[in-house]
A and B are shown apart, each in its own frame.
Chain A
Amino acid sequence: MKPFDVVILGAGIVGSACAYECALAGMRVAVVEPAVPAGAASAAGMGHLVVMDDSEAQLALSHFSRELWRELREALPQTVEYEECGTLWVAADAEEMEEVLAKQQRYANSGIASEMLDERALLEAEPGLRHGLAGGLRVPQDGVIYPPTAAGYFLSVAQQRGAQLIQGKRPVRAAEGEVVFEDGSRLSAGWIVIATGTDTSLCPWLKIQPRKGHLVITDRYPGVVRHQLVELGYLKSAHSVSTDSVAFNVQPRKTGQLLIGSSRQYGELKRKADPEMLRRMLDRAVEYMPSLKQLSVVRVWTGFRAATPDKLPLIGPTPDSTVLVAMGFEGLGITNAPGAAKLVLHHLTGAAVPMDPMAFLPSRVARAEAVHA
């Protein structure tokens, strides 16, 4: 008998959530992490739990996932810093207010609470915003977490259920129920789940591109910002496929610190922060919230989102019947991790999920040459 039912490659938020679900389902689980758990995109991201409505499938997955987070919150340790601060989508002008209306309709159709704000109500909700904005949409049940400790929680629950964390070993091959490591050692399992974020070395046929982002964190300024603030133009930024873009995106942390984003760049692989991109991003933030200017920046860093051509993650089986992937979450890996783990479990055990799993199958964007593999 194989020593593990499932081996999960990657202990980021997605791999950790998969380990959690599989261990709760009674499987014998191994998690492989060559570096530090939740040390890549999971550590670099904001930790915004948000329902995104840019496609039916995304709406279904992010709504489902956000509700899973809400169910978990009693169990999450304090260090996860879960806070249901809500998202406030900010509309700059009348055109964006029309989008607010459409957005509220889409949310309402899915049973998601949201509330339209006019200019006055917007400034009451967030006094730091500049005057002259058109209004906004408050989505009160969206929230914020600190992702590394959330991943740590998933891993520790899985470990309590017998899951094994294999750290410091780099897998170089994953096929036919066997993982081969750099040092030549092997591990066999019924299934392999690849959850290695932007690293597609084990599944090069996947069309995943790293998409660089910048983030800034400030010193502590409690109360300066109350909601996760996102400009409606964010969707334009997130959806532009070719050009570099920035959007106003500010998050209040439970610590009183502010996280300020966001930027998106393709074809840029250097870790170092790009002063020009940073300038554009912060100019945008200050344009919406002039009072940010005096706040002290404690750190600046970059990270890489795993972007797919159609903005949806790749979750499910591959041509190798023993190998599944859970990759390509772009900017929604933190939000979507619990839902993705349920989808993985669905593919492994047939457990029900409240959405169409077909929408996320990797085969939809696999390169033609992979067909021969």
Chain B
Amino acid sequence: MKHSFDIVVVGAGPAGLAAATAVAEAGRRVAVLDENPRVGGQIWRASLSKVARDRSKERAVARFEASGAKLFSGHQIVDGDAAGALESWVAATQSLETFSFERLILATGARERFLPFPGWTLPGVFGAGGLQALVRSGYDIRGKRVVVVGTGPLLLAVAAHLKQDGARVVLVAEQAPLSQLMQFGLSLITRPGKIVQGLSLRAQLANAQYRTGCWPVAALGDGTVTGVRLSDGSRTWTEACDLLACGFHLVPNTELATLLGCEVGDHGVVVDADQQTSVASVYCVGETTAIAGVDAALLQGRIAGLAAAGRASEARTLHMQRDAERSFGRRMDRAFALRKEMLTLAMPDTIVCRCEDVRFSQISQAAAPGNGWTNAKLQTRCGMGPCQGRICGPALNALFGWKNTSVRAPLFPLPIAALCSSPLATDDATTLVTQEN
């Protein structure tokens, strides 16, 4: 199926919704494509469990729905050309659909960064945001003892949600030292709203310990996780748990931007004051440009939406506020910077690439000077599995400084039928008809 819009937005999280709303309100025809069944992205993900009402989400979604922007859920972008077309795979209908556009706004969000440590592949070990997402989609964790480890503001938020969902949060272990976090806290005085947020999360955790300056050394268990060994640099100890949630802050999803030829820097997709990328027809907003949180995402979305709709000047008043949110993000990056111990957690036999079970020693052998990730990929298959390096890539970047430069379509695995002439072959169709009769 072919669709044509003035502007296409990829991602229906806060940034994408704000962008699409602004475009539609400016009278342009806009489509929002998102791989998930419902709007909200990760941070505003719908939940089966009881969650506190999020008024900013409700407002944003209501305004989006009233704006006239058209939503296409369940569309996974697999290919694109900045000259004006995207291809999406729709699993529900087993079809590829094409969207042509004049301008494109990327709001592809971020994912958790994982760092390999012994035992991190055991069942029962999850991403922190990953566990929260799974709980929201029906995983029952009532009564389970959970330890949350890693770094970043997400840890506290996740811990609070898991507790609401009935888990017993035993410990939240933040690797960043208190001194570093204090500096961040002080810098938050300019953003009182966020301090309140942090404090309320802290209060909700009640009996759970929140410890800074400590980190996971190994996940323990035979067949499933039963505990985690932690260290604070001077001593190590073990906490028993049923589930271990780990996350080492976030990394932007830059694959589509890279495929389209947009410049990507150390923090994400490079954009100018109007959120325009190095490719003139493409704008980028939210976490994809740099991790800075939901407030930055909303502002950036609105700025890009107005700019893409040809009303950049109307967005100028938002620039200062957006820049302040961005610098909040940069301070956050510094506060949660990885300590050097985080880069030495992997033992020689620790799996780094989960798709292909490539171990740290295999990769370090291939990591001779002059050889980047390409050589390690060819010699060890590291990053060659179906996740296409999305999990091990950021880890390899942290451990070896490698960057993934080869991004190719399809961006996500899809069935061979999708690349053939007739996705639903006649024999399948016949079978279906016969069954209905």
Contact = CB atoms under 8 A, between A and B. Distances in A.
* A interacts with B: yes
Contacts of B421: 279, 283
Contact of A297 (B370, B372, B384, B416): B416
Nearest to B362: A79
A99 B408 CA distance: 39
Contacts of B415: 293-297
A43 B376 CA distance: 12
Contacts of B372: 36
Contacts of A273: 408-409
Interface string B225-266: 000000000000000000000000000000000000000000
B425 A290 contact: yes
A361 B418 CA distance: 45
Contact of B416 (A39, A293, A299, A301): A293
A264 B370 CA distance: 33
Contacts of A286: 416-417, 420, 425
A278 B417 CA distance: 11
B379 A168 contact: no
11 contacts: A36-B371, A79-B379, A79-B380, A152-B379, A275-B79, A278-B419, A279-B420, A285-B416, A290-B427, A293-B420, A299-B408
Given A273-B408, A298-B385, A300-B408, A36 B378 contact: yes
B386 to A, nearest CB: 5
B180 interface: no
Interface string A35-49: 011110001000000
A39 B374 contact: yes
Contacts of A296: 386, 413-416
B4 interface: no
A297 B414 contact: yes
Interface of A: 36-39, 43, 79, 148-149, 152, 167-168, 216, 218-219, 260, 273, 275, 278-279, 282-283, 285-286, 290, 292-301
B378 A167 contact: no
Given A273-B408, A293-B415, A294-B415, A299 B425 contact: no
Contacts of A290: 425, 427
A168 B370 contact: yes
Interface in B336-394: 370-372, 374-375, 378-380, 384-386, 388
A283 B380 CA distance: 32
A273 B421 CA distance: 16
A286 B415 CA distance: 12
A295 B419 CA distance: 11
Interface string B388-431: 10000000000000000000111001111111110001010000
Q: Which 3 A-B pairs have the closest CB atoms?
A: A148-B378, A293-B417, A296-B413
Given A290-B427, A298-B386, A300-B408, A37 B375 contact: yes
B416 A167 contact: no
A34 to B, nearest CB: 10
Nearest to A168: B370
Contacts of A219: 386, 413
A124 B374 CA distance: 40
Nearest to A37: B375
Of A39, A275, A297, which is in contact with the most chain B CB atoms at under 10 Å from its CB?
Answer: A297
A283 B420 contact: yes
Contacts of A295: 415-416
A278 B379 CA distance: 27
Contacts of A37: 375
Contacts of B410: 297, 300
A149 B379 contact: yes
Nearest to B422: A283
B413 A298 contact: yes
A187 to B, nearest CB: 17
Interface in B270-298: none
A286 B428 CA distance: 13
Contacts of B375: 36-37, 39
Contacts of B413: 219, 296-298
A300 B409 contact: yes
Contacts of B380: 79
B378 A298 contact: no
Contacts of B371: 36, 167
Interface string B280-324: 000000000000000000000000000000000000000000000
A167 to B, nearest CB: 5
A279 to B, nearest CB: 6
Contacts of A168: 370
A270 to B, nearest CB: 13
A282 B419 CA distance: 7
Contacts of B386: 219, 296, 298
Contacts of A294: 415-417
Contacts of A298: 384-386, 388, 413
Of B380, B420, B425, which is in contact with the most chain A CB atoms at under 10 Å from its CB?
Answer: B420
Nearest to A258: B416
A159 to B, nearest CB: 11
A131 to B, nearest CB: 12
A218 B416 contact: yes
Given A36-B378, A219-B386, 16 more contacts: A36-B374, A37-B375, A43-B378, A148-B378, A148-B379, A260-B416, A275-B419, A279-B421, A282-B419, A285-B416, A286-B417, A286-B425, A290-B427, A293-B417, A294-B415, A296-B415
